[in-house]
Chains A and B, each alone.
Chain A
Amino acid sequence: MSINRRQFLRRAGMLTALGFGGAVAFTGFRKKEVAEAAEYSLKQKAVLATRWAMVVDMSKFKTEDDFNRVTEACHRLHNVPDFKNTKDEIKWIWKDDYHHSFAGGHNQYLDEHIVHSPFMVLCNHCENPPCVKACPTQATFKRRDGIVAMDFHRCIGCRFCMAACPFGARSFNFKDPRPFINEVSPEYPTRTAGVVEKCNFCYERLAKGEQPACVEKSNGGLIFGDLDNPNSEVRKIVSTKFTIRRKPELGTQPCVYYLVGGDDHA
């Protein structure tokens, strides 16, 4: 019972064909696509923009409480853990002093009040975000409305974005954050160890037609709106009053403006 080469090849070919045929019979007819008629859309109430931006009116941030109220609202809503040490610290919006916020060649004799007052800082949602360029998985990306958002599902924890961001706006979860969240907010997921996080301009609230949580709690200290819309309040302030931005010389085009001094907003 010996076979020659030709017979062997023919039988092998037939078996292979059978194998492929069998595989198609099993998987080919199975419905692979989710219902085709389905569609995705926006909520009717959603507020839309092409360039979300924020103005921080420093005259409204005077007491410790003005800062804490805002930070707390954000951190509670987004399940930001409290590690109680600066090494592991996670922050979305926090206060920092003038020299850290606006590093760079400043005048030797500056307005004492400004130099010594703390500033509310957060991700600037840069128009030209270096963090997005650095991300190898596109976990950080710029949305059409200008928000620099994160898809935590995709983050592999390489922290290139943290190195790329000139504003220190990003934090890394070195540990599982869950045990360090005092009161879990069911409005937003938590993160897991090995993931970077930062402010997201509350896009989940904008989608429901609400203002960002910090803006709501700021008593007018934070003004939020569409910079591309000439009638929006942020645009009016930015185009008529004197505002500064953090490290504009780097060319990232931050979208968070600081209203310092000047007329009635002094």
Chain B
Amino acid sequence: MYKGGKIIASLIIFVGLLTIPFFYNMGKVNAGPEINLDTPAILALAPADQQCVESPEVMKANHMQLLNQWREAAVRDGQSVYINSQGKSFEISLQNTCLNCHSTEAEKASVTGGMSNPAFGSTQFCASCHDYNAVQPLCYTCHIGSKEAAK
């Protein structure tokens, strides 16, 4: 190969530079998001009722689809009740059903405390994972913490 030595040497340097971040972070344990599931509202429920509207696996993988379905059902079809796979009914409401459990008093206060466009500064439960994954849905530019918040 013409000038083979130089080419191969520079290739090795190039690949080395490119992979610096991987080697740099190798072996460092990445603390995952901390998901807070013991809010007062959840703890107040009987242990049998503590499951979310669907099983944790379904919620982890599909909560975005479920939220979209809820939105279609409630806003466009006027169906305000969701009956889950175990036959339990839930009112379709991000504010009054989801956030009722998934936020603490302090978070609720910060959301309704006249905060302008909190974008994603909202409820810790959602934000912990979403910040970690750098996913920023805009739910809380309009939706507010739960019913108890204003009291």
Chain A residues lying within 8 Å of B145, measured Cβ to Cβ, are 186
Chain A residues lying within 8 Å of B37, measured Cβ to Cβ, are none
With A37-B85, A207-B80 known as contacts, the answer to whether A186 contacts B71 (CB < 8 A) is: no
Residue interface mask A23-64, B partner, CB < 8 A = 1: 000000011111111111111001000000000000000000
- B115 interface residue per 8 A CB criterion: yes
Residue interface mask B85-119, A partner, CB < 8 A = 1: 10001011001100000000000000010111100
- Indicate if the CB atoms of B116 and A190 lie closer than 8 Å: no
With A34-B54, A178-B116, A189-B143 known as contacts, the answer to whether A184 contacts B85 (CB < 8 A) is: no
Interface size on A, as a range, is 35 or more
A156 to B52, CA, bound (A): 33
- Indicate if the CB atoms of A141 and B76 lie closer than 8 Å: yes
- CB proximity of B149 to chain A, nearest CB, Å: 5
With A42-B80, A153-B71 known as contacts, the answer to whether A34 contacts B112 (CB < 8 A) is: no
The contact of B78 among A145, A184, A185, by CB within 8 Å, is A145
The contact of B76 among A151, A178, A190, by CB within 8 Å, is A151
- A80 interface residue per 8 A CB criterion: no
Main secondary structure of the interface of B (DSSP, over half): mixed
With A145-B78, A178-B116 known as contacts, the answer to whether A38 contacts B54 (CB < 8 A) is: yes
- CB proximity of A75 to chain B, nearest CB, Å: 16
Chain B residues lying within 8 Å of A149, measured Cβ to Cβ, are 75-76
B79 to A, closest residue via Cβ: A40
Which of B5-13, B40-48, B60-68 contacts its partner?
Answer: B60-68
The contact of B142 among A31, A145, A189, A204, by CB within 8 Å, is A189
- CB proximity of A71 to chain B, nearest CB, Å: 20
- CB proximity of A193 to chain B, nearest CB, Å: 8
- CB proximity of B123 to chain A, nearest CB, Å: 13
- A228 interface residue per 8 A CB criterion: no
- CB proximity of A37 to chain B, nearest CB, Å: 4
A152 to B143, CA, bound (A): 11
- B81 interface residue per 8 A CB criterion: yes
- A191 interface residue per 8 A CB criterion: yes
- CB proximity of A171 to chain B, nearest CB, Å: 16
- CB proximity of B17 to chain A, nearest CB, Å: 28
- CB proximity of B29 to chain A, nearest CB, Å: 25
Chain A residues lying within 8 Å of B35, measured Cβ to Cβ, are none
- Indicate if the CB atoms of B75 and A144 lie closer than 8 Å: no
- B69 interface residue per 8 A CB criterion: yes
The contact of A189 among B69, B82, B84, B144, by CB within 8 Å, is B144
- Indicate if the CB atoms of B114 and A179 lie closer than 8 Å: yes
**Interface contacts beyond A33-B65, A42-B79, A183-B150: sample of 12 additional A-B pairs, CB < 8 Å, sorted by A:** A32-B65, A35-B84, A38-B54, A39-B82, A40-B81, A43-B80, A152-B142, A184-B150, A186-B146, A186-B147, A191-B142, A192-B117
Which A-B residue pairs are the 8 nearest by beta carbons?
A: A37-B85, A35-B85, A40-B79, A189-B142, A40-B73, A39-B83, A207-B80, A192-B141
Residues of B within 8 A of A (CB): 54, 58, 61-62, 65-66, 69, 71, 73, 75-85, 89, 91-92, 95-96, 112, 114-117, 138, 141-150
Q: List 27 A-B contacts (CB under 8 A).
A: A31-B62, A34-B54, A35-B58, A35-B85, A37-B85, A38-B82, A39-B82, A40-B73, A40-B82, A46-B80, A143-B78, A145-B78, A149-B76, A151-B71, A153-B75, A176-B117, A179-B114, A183-B150, A186-B145, A186-B146, A186-B148, A187-B147, A192-B141, A192-B142, A203-B78, A204-B80, A207-B78
